[in-house]
């Protein structure tokens, strides 16, 4: 019973922490432009993140190697260092966007000045991270993120066209010379990227080591990766549905976080607006914490410094200094006044470009019997992993020209 409760808690935590600012706004915008036509991109991205998240957890358990230790050994020092720099720049941009989103929602809830709320929220998050152990950080932000379920309830209450939604599981092919076709491709790549953001697997594999998972936890690893991500993707599909039902018929493009959040309360008006806002706030604060900690994990794992949120701060000084530095730098970026959604657009495209360098080492090690022993990938696992790696690489190549056209 204790094991089942642990699995259930892990799944709920993964569900609550699945959505971030990029998914909330980007997916809602996709629905506002294309209705249900991009449902396939969500399903494809979900399947890919399940495959690679499970591999990351299994490698962390069997080989005791988190993602950035793999990058150093599999890519070599120079390419690994370039990937480290790019990944932490991505973490910084994403963290700044999430902190900006936190300030926006708090401003909508309180009416207080955004910059004051931005500084105060960042300070409170840093204090919380400093005081809490890893499992409480993960569970606090993950479980409060379950308030986002109000978006799923709202989507169902608005009675979507389920036949159209099913048809959205098949990609729509349109004329390549049209502006709308390029926009469709841009949002397809963007949704795929948002579902696979690197910081999620960095944080997940590090967490497996933080919590001392053993081979007995491999079943839990699979259940959390598969069910948590699947339920999270249903929540993402709900955001797409809300974009299609609330904004598309009214020809509104939700380019503000407050506008996208409003859709979660649409059928219930004021009754659910605070719940929807608090759900979005919980997910966004969780993402800001994950990106800051991921930056510290990355540096320490690559250079083989001591690290661990469950260890006293004085015993892991570089780790502690780095995650605090990530918060400080992200706050400075956010205080410049750059719009969080601009940062989201940059992070999603940039994240797609560097994604192959994160997932290739994971696949290579998971398929290496000398490292993984009896827990090595099956042939089917490797085939699926290779297929998604090819798709990730194609999307990475397409990301830069598509991003420059938008």
List the structure tokens of 296: 């510290």
> What is the pLDDT at residue 4?
52
> What is the pLDDT at residue 175?
57
Helix or strand holding residue 392 (H, E): helix 379-405
Asked if pLDDT for residue 385 goes beyond 60, the answer is yes
Asked if pLDDT for residue 239 goes beyond 50, the answer is yes
Asked if pLDDT for residue 127 goes beyond 70, the answer is yes
Which has the closest alpha carbon to 137: 295, 291, 317, 275? Answer: 291
Least confident of 14-28, 218-232, 269-283: 14-28
pTM, entire model: 0.94
Predicted confidence (pLDDT) per residue in 302-318, tens digit: 999 999 999 999 999 99
In whole angstroms, give the CA distance from residue 348 to residue 356. 14
Q: Sketch out the chain's domains with CATH numbers.
A: 8-405 (1.20.1740.10)
> What is the pLDDT at residue 86?
96
Tokens 């081979």 locate to: 215
In whole angstroms, give the CA distance from residue 49 to residue 201. 8
List the structure tokens of 328: 């400080």
In whole angstroms, give the CA distance from residue 194 to residue 383. 23
Q: What's the average model confidence in pLDDT over 394-405?
A: 87
> What is the pLDDT at residue 6?
52
In whole angstroms, give the CA distance from residue 184 to residue 31. 11
Residue 2 pLDDT grade (very low, low, confident, very high; cuts 50, 70, 90): very low
Q: 34 near 182, Cβ under 8 Å? A: no
Average pLDDT of the chain to the nearest whole number: 91
Instruction: Choose between 249 and 181: higher pLDDT.
Output: 249
Residue 106 pLDDT grade (very low, low, confident, very high; cuts 50, 70, 90): very high
Instruction: Give the Cβ contact number of residue 405 at 10 Å.
Output: 11
In whole angstroms, give the CA distance from residue 13 to residue 225. 11
Q: Sort 393 into a burial class: Cβ within 10 Å, 0-12 / 13-18 / 19+.
A: middle
């Amino acid at each position: 019973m204790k094991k089942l409760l642990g699995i259930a808690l892990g799944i709920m935590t993964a569900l609550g922490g699945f959505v971030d600012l990029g998914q909330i706004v980007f997916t809602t915008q996709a629905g506002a432009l294309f209705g249900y036509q991009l449902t396939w991109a969500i399903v494809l991205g979900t399947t890919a993140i399940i495959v690679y998240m499970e591999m990351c957890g299994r490698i962390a358990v069997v080989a005791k190697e988190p993602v950035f230790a793999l990058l150093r050994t599999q890519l070599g020092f120079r390419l690994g260092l370039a990937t480290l720099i790019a990944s932490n720049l991505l973490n910084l941009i994403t963290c700044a966007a999430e902190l900006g989103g936190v300030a926006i929602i708090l401003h909508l809830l309180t009416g207080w000045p955004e910059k004051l709320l931005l500084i105060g929220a960042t300070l409170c998050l840093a204090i919380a991270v400093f005081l809490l152990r890893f499992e409480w950080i993960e569970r606090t932000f993950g479980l409060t993120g379950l308030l986002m379920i109000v978006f799923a309830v709202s989507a169902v209450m608005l009675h979507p066209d389920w036949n159209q939604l099913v048809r959205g599981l098949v990609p729509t092919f349109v004329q390549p010379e049209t502006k709308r076709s390029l926009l469709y491709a841009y949002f397809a790549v963007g949704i795929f990227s948002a579902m696979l953001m690197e910081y999620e697997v960095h944080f997940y594999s590090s967490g497996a080591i933080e919590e001392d998972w053993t081979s007995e936890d491999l079943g839990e690893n699979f259940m959390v990766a598969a069910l948590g991500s699947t339920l999270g993707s249903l929540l993402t599909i709900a955001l797409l549905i809300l974009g299609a039902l609330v904004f598309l018929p009214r020809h509104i493009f939700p380019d503000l976080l407050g506008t996208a959040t409003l859709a979660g309360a649409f059928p219930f008006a004021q009754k659910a607006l605070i719940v929807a806002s608090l759900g979005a706030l919980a997910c966004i604060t969780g993402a800001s914490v994950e990106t800051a900690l991921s930056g510290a994990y990355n540096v320490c794992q690559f250079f083989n410094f001591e690290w661990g949120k469950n260890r006293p701060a004085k015993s892991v000084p570089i780790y502690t200094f780095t995650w605090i530095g990530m918060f400080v730098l992200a706050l400075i970026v956010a205080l410049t006044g750059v719009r969080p959604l601009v940062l989201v657009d940059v992070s999603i495209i940039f994240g797609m470009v560097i994604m192959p360098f994160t997932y290739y080492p994971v696949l290579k090690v998971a398929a290496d019997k000398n490292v993984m022993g009896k827990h090595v990938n099956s042939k089917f696992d490797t085939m699926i992993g290779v297929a998604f790696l090819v798709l990730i690489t194609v999307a990475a190549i397409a990301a830069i020209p598509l991003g420059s056209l938008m």
